[in-house]
């Protein structure tokens, strides 16, 4: 039994800047599981992946600053970019400059009695290539108010940051969602059918030719509710459209083509 979902199967209940809650209707348990994995691991987005340190006289070593920069969500359309091929270009890279120095202690008073200068995510300044895509819709941090580091007087940082295209399975910074929680709206009934009742399915399982859709005969159609945290790289609607598209493809792939991504094959796969 083939399950192929489209956007009409999704009923959005709650949508704001940070969260989305929706129902996914007429799917099976395997589809629900795969959809959850796809949301977190398979949706491409842009994130800072390489940093060139031009200067760092702060009290914090680069190795501790870099992860904070890398986790800043970058709002950019990943469809406008290719995956990095070893050479930076306007087609696969977004470049930001992060340069700031600590102010004189008297300039920070009375807002900051400790004489510290905050370096924010909003201090990341785009260095555009000659690319109309960046000019018309410039990439930027989703929120300008993330504090990266605090500088004292005469301390300075000067970094060049390169944002690349990736997926959550490469690193969590590439995932456009922060969490995925899902559950059936009603209790899942016990499977009425056993695998032994489907000899063709058993043969496919032994030869690793079976797809997730082949397992759908064992599960009833149900409605699931999802709660997903958004990080701001791409819109919620685009995340759901991509997730549906990718999940539909995965459902038809034979296990032999997917086992490199799955350490322990289970009944959901």
DSSP 4-18: ---GGGEEEEEE-SS
Contact 140, 97 (CB under 8 A): no
Across the chain, how many H-helices and E-strands are there?
A: 7, 12
- Report d(CA 261, CA 167) in Å as an integer: 13
Ordered per-residue pLDDT tens for the chain, 269 residues: 556 676 778 899 999 989 999 999 988 888 898 899 999 999 999 999 999 999 999 999 999 999 999 999 999 999 989 999 989 888 899 999 999 998 766 555 555 556 688 999 999 999 887 655 566 778 999 999 999 999 988 899 999 999 999 999 999 999 999 999 999 988 766 655 555 566 666 666 666 667 777 777 777 888 999 999 999 999 999 999 999 999 988 888 876 666 555 444 444 43
Classify residue 173 by burial, with Cβ atoms within 10 Å: 0-12, 13-18, 19+: buried
Greatest C-alpha distance within the chain: 80
What three-state secondary structure class fits 187? coil
**Cβ–Cβ contacts within 10 Å for residue 3, how many?**
21
Q: Which CATH class is domain 8-43+176-261?
A: alpha beta
Consecutive H or E run containing 106:
helix 105-108
- Report d(CA 202, CA 43) in Å as an integer: 32
- In CATH terms, is domain 45-174 a member of 3.30.70.20? no
Contact 73, 231 (CB under 8 A): yes
The model carries a pTM of 0.82
Contact 51, 162 (CB under 8 A): yes
Of residues 235, 252, 266, 218, the one with CA closest to residue 12: 235
- Going from N- to C-terminal start, the domains of the chain cover 8-43+176-261, 45-174
Of residues 202, 218, 198, 219, the one with CA closest to residue 210: 202
Interaxial angle between packed helices 29-41 and 236-252, expressed in degrees from 0 to 180 and rounded to the nearest 10: 130
């Amino acid at each position: 039994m083939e399950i192929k979902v489209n956007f009409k199967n999704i009923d959005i209940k709650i949508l704001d800047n940070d969260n989305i809650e929706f129902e996914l209707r007429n799917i099976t348990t395997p589809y629900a599981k795969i959809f959850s994995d796809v949301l977190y691991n398979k949706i491409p987005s842009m994130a800072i992946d390489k940093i060139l340190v031009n200067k760092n006289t702060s009290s914090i070593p680069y190795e501790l600053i870099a992860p904070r920069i890398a986790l800043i969500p970058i709002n950019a359309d990943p469809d406008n970019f290719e995956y990095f091929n070893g050479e930076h270009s306007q087609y696969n890279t977004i470049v930001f400059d992060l340069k700031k120095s600590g102010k004189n202690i008297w300039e920070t008073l009375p807002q900051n009695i400790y004489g510290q200068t905050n370096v924010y995510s909003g201090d990341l300044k785009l260095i555009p290539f000659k690319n109309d895509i960046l000019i018309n819709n410039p990439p930027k941090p989703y929120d300008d108010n993330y504090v990266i580091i605090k500088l004292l007087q005469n301390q300075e940082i000067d970094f060049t940051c390169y944002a690349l295209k990736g997926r959550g399975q490469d690193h969590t910074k590439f995932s456009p969602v922060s969490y995925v929680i899902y559950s059936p709206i009603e209790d899942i009934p016990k499977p009425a059918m056993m695998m032994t009742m489907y000899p063709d399915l058993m043969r496919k399982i032994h030869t690793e030719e079976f797809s997730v859709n082949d397992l759908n005969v064992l599960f009833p159609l149900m409605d699931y509710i999802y709660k997903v945290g958004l990080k701001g790289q791409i819109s919620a609607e685009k995340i759901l459209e991509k997730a549906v598209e990718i999940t539909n493809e995965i459902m038809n792939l034979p296990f032999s083509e997917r086992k490199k991504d799955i350490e322990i094959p289970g009944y959901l796969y």
